[in-house]
Structure 1
Amino acid sequence: MRRDFKKLNRRSFLLVSLRLAIAVAAFGLTGFAGAADSLQGTWVATKVLSEGKPAENLVGHRLTFDGANFQIQSSGGQIIFAGTTSIDPAANPASIDFVNVEGGAAGATWQGIYAFDEDTLSICDNSANLDADRPAAFDTASGSGHVLFIFERAKP
C-alpha cells in the first residue's frame, strides 16, 4: 500500500509539473508580468452597469494600479477603496480579484473578470453582492450581483 501511495504521489507530481511546463511554454515566462504591467496606471470609468441598469453615480471614478496595489477614487478625488489585486490572465475569461484593505469594503474581496486593449479596460465583478459567484461573462443581468465597469486609460 505504501508503495502504491508513493507511485501515486510521483505520478501526481509529474502531471502537475508537466502541466506547469506546458502552460509556461504556451504563455511565455513574461506573459503574467506583461499583463499586470499593461494594467498599470490610472483608468477612468466611462460607463457602469449594475444589476442590468446604468450606474451613473460611478461614472468618473478613477481606478489606479500601482504594482499589486489598487486605489479607487471618486470623481471628486476622494479615496473610497484601496487594497491589493491579483490577476490570472490565463483564465478564460481572465480573472482579477480586489482585496480591500481600506474604505467601506475593507475585509471584502471582489471577484471579477477583465479584458483590455491599449486604452480600454472592462471589469465585471461581484462587488454588488459578495455572495454572488465570479462573473463568467461581461453581463450584469438583474439579480446577478455583478457590476460592469468600462474604463478608459487616463490621459497624463
Structure 2
Amino acid sequence: MQRSITNLRILVTVATLTALTAVVSADDKQAAAIQKDRNLIAGTWQIEVLEINGNRSAGEDVKQLTVVNGADGTWSLRSEGNEVGRGTTTIDPSQRPKTIDIQPTSGQDQGKTYRGIYELGKTSRKLCFAPAGKDRPADFTTNAENQHIFVKFKRLQATQEKEVP
C-alpha cells in the first residue's frame, strides 16, 4: 500500500513537471517569435502608400513620412526628419493575420490603442489598423464604412538599435 502511494506521488510529480515544461516551452516559443518579428521590423521605414477611409493620400506628401522602429517595440513617426509622434507596439505573430496594437505615448492620441494587423517582408511591410476603440481589421482593406487606415512601407535602413533614439 505504501509503495502504491509513493508511486502515485511520483506519477503526479512527473505529470506536473511535464505540464509546466510544456507551458514554459510554449511561452518561450511565443517570445522568440515576437522578438524575431521585432528584429525584422527594427529600422527606418518610408511610407509609400497611405489610405485613410479608402482615400489614398498624395504621393509626395506621404513620402516625407518615415517611421523609425526599435527592436523593443518603440517607434517614432517623423515628417521631413522631425518627430511628430512616438509610442510603443505589442505584436502577436502567431495570429493569422499577424496582429499589432499601437499605443502612442505622446500627442493628442496618447493613451489610446489602435488595433491592427501587419504583414512583414524583408524590404516591405503592410499595416492596417482601426480607429481607437474599434474592432481589429480582418484584412488590409480600407473604405469609408470601416474607417481603417492602410499603410505600405519600404525599408530605408535596418538597425541594430534596441530602442528608438
**Structure-2-length-normalised TM-score:** 0.73
Partners of 2:155 and 2:94 in 1: CA distance: 23
Look up the match of 1:109.
113
In structure 2, relative to structure 1, the CA distance for the partners of 1:58 and 1:35 (3 Å cut) is: same
1:18 Cα shift? 8.9
Instruction: Establish whether residue 118 from structure 1 lines up as the match of residue 122 from structure 2.
Output: yes
Partners of 1:132 and 1:115 in 2: CA distance: 20
The correspondence of residues 1-156 of structure 1 with structure 2, limited to 5 A, is: 20=23, 23=26, 30-56=32-58, 57-66=61-70, 67-74=72-79, 76-126=80-130, 129-155=131-157
Partners of 1:102 and 1:53 in 2: CA distance: 26
Question: Gapped runs of 5+ residues in structure 1?
Answer: 1-12
In structure 2, relative to structure 1, the CA distance for the partners of 1:85 and 1:29 (3 Å cut) is: closer
**Structure-1-length-normalised TM-score:** 0.76
Partners of 2:89 and 2:31 in 1: CA distance: 20
Identity, in percent, stands at 23
For the pair shown, the structure with the greater C-alpha radius of gyration is 2
Deviates more, 1:102-111 or 1:116-125: 102-111
Question: Which stretches of structure 1, 4 residues or more, deviate above 4 A after TM superposition?
Answer: 16-25
Report 1 or 2 for greater relative contact order, CA contacts < 8 Å, sequence distance ≥ 6: 2
How many corresponding residue pairs? 138
